[in-house]
Structure 1
């Protein structure tokens, strides 16, 4: 897949997920998916079960930018939940092999006015 194709695939999945469709992750994540965030499980099924219960599943997601190359897609967005109405800034890094995500890293921090 080209960088543009990966970007479009990730954008579609992001939009579907933001609209509450968690099942969009199943074909996108490889079965042996590796999650690098401490405390979050690896493996497609374990990760999907975890993320379905995580605050992000019910959050408002305001995508600000997407950067892609031949292997990675990086998404930068504001995540707003009832627990954090001021929002949290998130950067997700997804590594693709063919048309599936094989690894994920993220950084999350409280939003500060004007930081996005």
Structure 2
């Protein structure tokens, strides 16, 4: 299984299936988190689950894999009151997610953007 497949499975099993045991399967024991609102380690991931909306949905569009780095550009529903567009950067080590960075912004629908383009691309 490639790094991209590991990330996709990890995100699906933890955030869509709400399987807290996915943390041990897919995240490195020394997991480092760079989102300033989250703590390092497995505990931070487990702490998120109770706060996610029941209809939480992470929908990746563009996915880039280069060596041990996977980058996803996604539309996320249920992270907050409005949909957000997220760029997630994952570094994998020993077949597990070892580090994570993200950039998050509120989605602006295409019909309200200056250029008429959607913020996401689902290839």
Q: What interval of TM-score do these two structures reach, taking the shorter chain for normalisation?
A: 0.7 to 0.9
Whether 1:96 and 2:92 are equivalent positions in the alignment is: yes
Aligned CA RMSD, in angstroms, stands at 2.2
Q: Which runs of 4+ in 1 moved over 6 A?
A: none
Partner of 2:113: none
Aligned length: 111
Work out the CA distance in 2 between the residues paired with 1:57 and 1:95.
Answer: 28
Q: Please give the secondary structure, in 2, of the residue aligned with 1:75.
A: strand
Deviations 1:26-79 (A, max 9, x none): 2211111110111200012x2222221343775122221211111111111111
Q: Please give the secondary structure, in 1, of the residue aligned with 2:21.
A: helix
Larger helix proportion of the pair = 1
TM-score of the aligned structures, taking structure 1 as reference length: 0.81
Gaps of 5+ in 2: 110-117
Greater Cα shift, 93-102 or 19-28:
19-28
Partner of 1:74: 71
Gaps of 5+ in 1: none
For residue 23 of structure 1, report the CA deviation from its aligned partner: 2.5
